[in-house]
Structure formats: structure tokens, C-alpha cells
Structure 1
Amino acid sequence: MLFVHAAALSLTELDAIRRLNARSHRHECEACLRAWPTIASAPSRRSIATTPRLVGSDALVAPGNAPFGSRALVHATVEPVLAPETCADIIAEAEERAAADGWGSRYTLQSGSDELHLADLPRASAAVAAALPDIAAIATAALLPPEHKPSDLRVLNALVVRYDAARSKDHMAPHGDANLLTVNVALSAGHEGGGTWFLAVRGGEAEEEEAEEAAEEGGEAHGGAVVEPGGVGHALLHAGALWHAGARTAKGAERRVLTARAIAALGGGDAAAGEGRAGRAGREGREGRAGRERREGQERREGEGAEEGEAAEEGEGGEAGEGRAAGGAEAARLLELAVRLNPADAEPWIQLATARRRQGDVDGAAAAGRRAVALGRASGVASFDALYNLGCDVEPALDAVGAALALEPRAADIWAELARLKLAAGELADARACAEKCAELRSA
């Protein structure tokens, strides 16, 4: 029997990648908490009545559907989580902001809908921040097992999304969210259609028996289903990784949705500690005492080196520069290991391109960026800015933008990106034409 190893990584290298990911996640959670601090005061879990919808597999998002632990990965609340007057105030402030700066789609890169960042709406942000602890308590109770605390959630991003059938801005393309769970709150009524389509949710009532039959058959082979919130202020809660889309708004008033994406903090290190204890127990059984002592010594030295690198990054002057250079080299090395482990994932390629660019390795950054763009095309993601935003070659970025426009020819923000690229390439007439096309689409 022939065994082929795609990547031969030592336990030390795998542990180093895990530590790098944990450090990056910790920094991201700290930034999220600074932006939305009220979530840390979330009370204990609060169960309210919801209408659950089941997926047809016990291993759709992970083995055992971890960390959710069930097939009920979509819930619609039967009572509001935001007061209707609060929803009306959010819409009013969004319109005020849009009247000055316009709607756009810089975050989701969608041509079928518009959005504004909630952080750009001060009054709306304050209202949502006040309601956030309760929303976190409800979402945690609905989706996660009892050991998960609402105060351990962090808001990664929050948007006010607008759908308008009259302007052909009536849907959001299929996608998955790169976060633990997503909360959509209906802000408006008076439209026909809409809701969220989920590929893995069974049509009809999705009774438990039907889901069990689907799981036994090994299938999720069905056309999916559209799930709608019960009314203004009601929430649709779902596992972020589920493949879903904004279902088309057929006609009527503009539809507005507040979308918040949440990740989980490590909760004081409990999750990492549990993983570490399990990993150490397994290794100790294989290594014996001498091997364990050698490994612990190596881990201690690496940990001291990592701490010195972090301290240098926070310092000033030449020492800080040396620390950043050393940290950048280590980050690039570990990311190279990460792309060997999962070469079909665009995200580590983008991170590797960033790390190489910081080291001054422009050619290496461009190569990693091209790979990220190629993977983005393959998965239907318009990641055309991966090269341009890194300051690498303009020509490959132009090619990638062209591919994105072929998919979304009426996306004003892609035309704006093309205008910037044309300007960088010195093609002034084309840049002006692209900017005019962007303005035309935004005013339509």
C-alpha cells in the first residue's frame, strides 16, 4: 500500500501554526470588543420562542455540526429583538447618511444590494449597542450548547443592507459568512418576497423525521428553502458557514435588513486550554517522559521567542524594527506551512501575500496574491483587489477586475476599483470613463 503525504509537518510546526492563529484571533477579538464593548456585559443565555429550521446532515459545517451540536442551524424568532421604533430610527439615519455619501457595497461587493456600515451611523450604533447584550443572549441560547456564554461573542461587522426591486437591487448572491453565527434583523415591511435562502435547509416544515431520513440517506440533495423573519424587529439567526443568499425582493417598498456577524472569543483561554489538554494527553501517551521533556523545552524556547517578538513589535526605534522583521519572517514561514496544509483556501494565500509584502518580497507577494485571486475566481468570489491592495502588479489586478465585471457588470464599486487601477496605470481617459460609469450606476 502506498501512502502519499501532501505535507510532512512536525508537531512543533503544527503547534506553531495553531499559536499564530490563536494570536491573530485574540487580536481580532480585542479590536471587535473595542468597537462593540457592550456585548461583554451580556447576561446569561435567554431562551425565547423561535421557529427552528433543520439541515439534513449531522456533519454539514463540521463533524457533529460542531460547535452547534445539532441540525437546527437556522432560527427565526417569534418576537422582536429590536423595537419597531428603533428599526424606523435606524432606517431614517441610514437615509440621512446615504443622502450625503450615497449607498454602496464596499464590504459585500454585491451588485444586487446596497449597504452602509452601522459604525458610520452614530445614533443607530448606540441603539444597537444597548440591545446587543440581549440579542447575544438570545442567539447563544438558540444556536449554541449550554457551555457557551453570550459574553464570549464578539461583533465582527454590522451592516444596514438595502434591497430595492425598482432599481434591480433586489437580492444578494449566494455565499457563506466567515464567522461563527449571523444575526439578520428585519427593519422594514411592505415588500413582497425577500428573506434568506439556505441551500441545506429542507423545504416545507423540515420536520425532525424528514431531517433524520435525509441524514440516513447521506443527503442534502434538495433545492433549499427561503426563511423569512416574522415581522419588523424579528431576527433570523443562523450558523455563518451555511451557504445562503438574500432571496429576491419581488416588488413593493424597499427592504432593509440589519446584519451582524459574530465570532467567539476564546473565553479566557478555556477553549484553547481544552484543546491543549487533549493534545498533550495524546502526545504524552506516544512520546514517553524523555520525548515529553524535549518537546516542552522546545515549546518553552519558542514561546519565549514569540513573546520577545511581540514585545519588540510594541517597542520603539531600531529594536521595534528588528522585532517586526523577525516577526514578519516567522509569520511568512508559518503561513507557507498553512498553504501547504490547505492549498485550496484563498484566505491563507492572501495573508501570505501580505506577510511577504511587509518583508519587501514584492515578487513573492504578487505570486501569493495571484494564487488567491485564482482561487477566488474558482469559488465565485470577486477577490480582484488582493493584488492591488498589496501594492503589487497592476496588470494582474486589471485582469481580475475584468473577470469580476464579467460576473457583476452593474456593480458600481467594481467600476470604482477599475477607475483606481486605470489611474495607477496612467490610463487617464479610461479612468475617467470608469468613474463616470460608477457614478451612473450609483445614481440609477
Structure 2
Amino acid sequence: MTGPGSSFIPARMSVGIDIARICTMFLIVSGHYMQLPGFYSHFSGGVGYPFQPGDISQFRDSLANQAWGLDRLFLVVDFSYWSLNFTFFALSGLSLWFSTRKSGVFSLRDYFFKRFTGVYLGYFIAALAAFLIAVTLLGHKPGEHDLNYLLLGVTRARETVFYNDTLWFMSILFILYLIYPFIVFLYARLGPVAVFAISTASSYFFIHKHVLATVTFLPTAFTFFIIGIAVAELLCLASDILARYKKTGALIALSTSVTCVYLLHSVLYASIMASNRYEYDTHASGLLFFFLFLSGGMLLPLGQSKTLRTLGAATYPVYLFHYLLVRVCSVDPSLHETISRARFLAFWPLGESILAASTAIFVLLLTLGVVYNRFVVATLTAGMHAALGREIRVRRRD
């Protein structure tokens, strides 16, 4: 396996990935926090959240009650926050494959160690924290196997939804991480044809996504994952051409962004208003967001920087822990009142704009994510690196 040429402009790709991660996480977090008692209703004039297809009147009224056009646009996009989980599956495949192609080599030892320290370790802490909070603060009576299900990543099990429902994403991602080395193995022997053949075959899952979703999200998630890999491979193959014709590459990225905006408008607004039912294709919107955020991020006049990488990495702990606040607030009446009368909402424009207030909350959470990575994850990872390969002598008692 060879990496992309030096002319590939890896900074553009890295910037695009980090921007896409931040934008995706912002919408997921904002979507969940609209469910906080007193937060969404503060900006919607008391109108309920449009959860069901028949809630079209709530959808219309929520938009009509926004004083700012940006807030109306934000709500149209953020009501579809659940579809962004599939965007993250595609981003995971893209970033993994780009990293592998960039290095030109693949080590199973390094791969699984990074997955354990960088992914499962954080998941373990989040799952354990969710269990302790539910049992101690929320007064939840755990089932016989709840903690086992949580720690093993079976978070779509009925017994574990109460603790931290967002962790279902990680359950599927663990399986995709186990599949990934086999894709690399096939690529090393067959070349790009392996990636494109797998992505073509996975279209079967996408065609039958609605039937499969009643059983498991894994096939659909794999389709998004392999789409991310295929996009990364295409960009790697076209690296020299993109470097030679930079204006053409920028024009392609711009055209992709504009097309995605137009199609998202159709999926998330025009088709809904025409059908008079709040229904949209979650998988189509998730795929469109993936291409929009990636192409848009690559167009931004930003260079590769440690700050951007740090913020991109901080989205992971934000995803793992942010829903715990929703769980706590959903059962604690005192926190309901605190949220509805939060002091920061009194300051302009935070008290008038749901976009501004959501952004403020996300910036706070992202900052906490940076601190968590710096002092918790980095410390644990450094300790495991130091212990890796060190022999532990077990003395036998005579």
C-alpha cells in the first residue's frame, strides 16, 4: 500500500475532516439539547418539538416564531440531527482510510492499540459514568446484566437505552473497526478495485435500508463507512491532478457544496412542506451532510494547525458525555427550572437566538472536551504506552 504523493495537499484533507467533525457534532449536540426542558420552548414560543410525521404544524410554527432568518435555517437543519450519526460513520471510514493511505503502511498492533486507547477507553469511562449516574442520581434500579451490556457495547439493548442512548453509535463502530483490517488486507492484494467493489456490493444494504433498519443499523452503517473509504481513495488517486489543477479542484469542491445545499433544502424543507408531513430521508440527508461538510471544510482558507486538530479530537468526548445532561434533566424537576431560567439566556443575542445559545453551549462542551482529552485521556494513554511491551514477571509461590 502506497501513500498519496507529496503533492496531494494533505492539509486540505485534514482541515476538511476536522471541520466536518466539528460541524457534525455541533448539530448532534444541539439536536439533543433542544429536548432539554425549558430550552427549546424558550425560543419556539412554547411550540412542541416535531417528533412525529403528523407534527407538521409544530414544524411550521417553530420556524414562524423565529425572529432571525439564520435561526429558521438552523432549525430546519437541526431537526434532522439524528441523520448526522450516519454522517459520522462516513467520516470515520474517510479519516481511517486517509490516515492509512497517507502512512503507506498498516500495523495491526498499532491499529488495535490506538482503537483501544483512543476509542474504547473513553467509551468505557462514559458507559461506567452513565451507569453510576443512573443508579445514584436518577434512582434507576439496574437489571441483572445492564452493566455488562454497557461495557460490552451492546447499547441498543432495551435494558441500556435509559443510561445513555447515544452510545449505540459506538456499538456499531466497534464492529466496523474489526472489519476495517480485512478491507486493508484486500486492498493490499487487489488495489483500488477492492474498495470500489465492496462499496458497490454494499449498495444492496442501502436499497433495502428500511427493512434492515427494523433489525439492525449495522448494514446501513457499513455502507456509509465504506462510502467514506471510497471517497478517501478517490481523492488519493486524484491527488496529483488536484495539486496540478488547484482551481479545478476548488471548483469541484464548490460545486459539491452548492449541490448539497440545494438537495438538503429539497429533502429537509421543500419536500416536507409539499407533502404536509414531517418526514424526510435520514440516510439521504446524512450522506449530503457528509459531502457538504467535507467539501466546505476543504474550501475554507485555513491551514493545518494543532488547534484545529485538538478541537476535532474533542468532539469524541463531547459525543460520549453530552447526553448524560439530558438524562439528568429529564428526571430532576429542579434542573428543569434551572435550564428554563438560565442566566446566560438573558444576554443578547443568547436570549433571542436559538443558534447563538446552541453555539454557546457547544463551545462550552468542546472546551470541556479539550480539557478531558488533555488531562484524562492523555494521562491514561501515556501510562499504557509506557506499560506496552513491558514484561510482568509472575512469581510462582513455592
Could you say which TM-score interval applies, normalised by the shorter chain?
Answer: under 0.3
**More strand by percentage:** 1
Q: Of the two structures, which has the highest relative contact order with CA contacts closer than 8 Å and spacing of 6 or more? A: 2
TM-score normalised by the chain length of structure 1: 0.22
**More helix by percentage:** 2
TM-score normalised by the chain length of structure 2: 0.24
Q: Greater Rg, structure 1 or structure 2?
A: 1
